[in-house]
With several copies, the nearest count.
Chain A
Amino acid sequence: MATVRAPIWGTPIFDGAQAIKGYALNKMCYSFNDAVNRNEFLANEAAYCARFGLNPEQYAAIQNRNVLQLIAAGGNIYYLAKFAGILGLNVQDIGAQQTGMTVEAFKAKLLAAGV
């Protein structure tokens, strides 16, 4: 039988339980691979989210542009990265947001890991 492991602090595991919870949100974010869809989203966020059947928690997290909330709502980081792209955020920006740091402080932390 597959072993159940202790959670790792601050480290979401996108397993079946998350996948069940996040399907609609992830499907919407997957659609952002296509520029046409990104523009449709930007033109009318509410309608676009409704079309994919986002639940209220997911829709609020999208409105808040809040990565931790999006993950809690079942979002998978690889699909969420496409949403971050719409907002012009790279992985350091979203790292800073999730850790509650400024982007400069987050970058300094990364540099410090190398010395």
Chain B
Amino acid sequence: MAKLVGGIATSHIPAIGLAIANGLQQDAYWKPFFDGFPPVREWLARVKPDVAIVIYNDHGLNFFLDKMPTFAIGAATEYRNADEGWGLKALAPFPGDPRMSWHLIEELVAADFDLSTCQEMLVDHGFTVPMSLLWQDVVPRAVRVVPLAINTVQHPLPSPRRCYNLGVALGKAIESYPADLRVVVVGTGGLSHQLDGERAGFINREFDLRCLDDIVNRPDELLNLSIHDLVEQAGSQGAEFILWLVMRGALSCHGVREIARKYHIPVSNTGAGLLLLESVS
């Protein structure tokens, strides 16, 4: 059976991708952010996951308002990025694992999650930036991926509790996969930031630090938050924290040990967070 070895969460701002493309990791502005990653990459090098389930949100690349899914899961043989309107450069394609995808789809639909299934799917910076941060775009790529996109574009968004519960079902689905694979779940996005409106630039350090602590030690405390609470406390785009909750829900079948945690303000308009939790069986 497959083993869920741990969960990682990281912010996924486009500016990070540009900083990587331009080699700015040691630049004074960027260094404190990038310095969080070596311990996570060391863990990945040691644990060597075969598959990464990447929870992200599409920011208007693959999905438009004509067919906007609440939960969409990839079932493609590979995934490519695109320029997103900003001329981002093409990365090496990310190999998929369609058999694993279909196993997860069977289990999640049986558990009453109403997925959209995507046998072809462009992945945007919400997906690629964490991949670049964690696996540094080494080719051939070290992991196969299953992207899982959560709607944060069109309200109503799925509630924090629904997302956590999706994670719980996802964790069970992963560990019922009949192949001897090591699987890591990656939650992306957040923490507090807001791009739109007169409150643009809003960051809430105190709330972010509370979230970082609660998601490790007492995730249940976060599940009564509404989307409205999240938007109020973490900014419009801070609602991306629901993606972290999917990751944390997946780990709920195990105990967790915290391996790495980092918080830094600002990365572009964002309070940037990083977290690595290892499964303790």
Report A-B touching, CB under 8 Å.
Answer: yes
Interface residues of A (CB under 8 A from B): 1-3, 5, 8-17, 19-20, 23, 26-27, 29-30, 32-33, 35, 38, 67-68, 71, 76-82, 85-86, 90-92, 94-95, 98-99, 106, 109-111, 113-114
**Least CB separation from A32: chain B residue:** B85
CA–CA, A15 and B155, complex, Å: 5
Partner-binding segment picked from B34-42, B44-52, B228-236, B251-259: B228-236
Neighbouring A residues of B201 by C-beta, 8 Å: 95, 99, 106, 109-110
Neighbouring B residues of A1 by C-beta, 8 Å: 107, 110, 176
Expressed in whole angstroms, the minimum distance between the Cβ of B157 and any Cβ of chain A is 10
Contact indicator A77/B196 (Cβ below 8 Å): yes
Q: Given A2-B156, A14-B154, A113-B205, A68–B198 Cβ distance below 8 Å?
A: yes
Interface residues of B (CB under 8 A from A): 14-15, 59-61, 64-65, 75, 77, 82-87, 98-99, 101-103, 105-107, 109-110, 119-120, 153-156, 176, 194-203, 205, 226, 228, 231-232, 235-236, 264-266, 268-269, 271
Neighbouring A residues of B153 by C-beta, 8 Å: 14, 76, 78
Contact indicator A33/B266 (Cβ below 8 Å): no
Neighbouring A residues of B85 by C-beta, 8 Å: 32-33, 38, 81-82, 85-86
CA–CA, A33 and B153, complex, Å: 16
**What secondary structure prevails in chain A residues at the interface with B?**
helix
Neighbouring B residues of A91 by C-beta, 8 Å: 14-15, 195, 268-269
Expressed in whole angstroms, the minimum distance between the Cβ of A101 and any Cβ of chain B is 8
Neighbouring A residues of B194 by C-beta, 8 Å: 11
Expressed in whole angstroms, the minimum distance between the Cβ of B173 and any Cβ of chain A is 8
Contact indicator A19/B197 (Cβ below 8 Å): no
Neighbouring B residues of A23 by C-beta, 8 Å: 65, 119-120
**Least CB separation from A5: chain B residue:** B228
A-B pairs with beta carbons under 8 Å apart, 15 shown: A1-B107, A10-B197, A10-B198, A16-B99, A16-B106, A20-B77, A26-B64, A26-B65, A33-B85, A78-B59, A82-B85, A90-B15, A110-B201, A110-B266, A113-B203
Neighbouring A residues of B64 by C-beta, 8 Å: 26-27, 30
Neighbouring B residues of A82 by C-beta, 8 Å: 60, 84-86
6 additional A-B pairs beyond A68-B197, A76-B60, A114-B271, beta carbons within 8 Å, are A12-B196, A76-B65, A76-B154, A98-B196, A99-B201, A110-B265
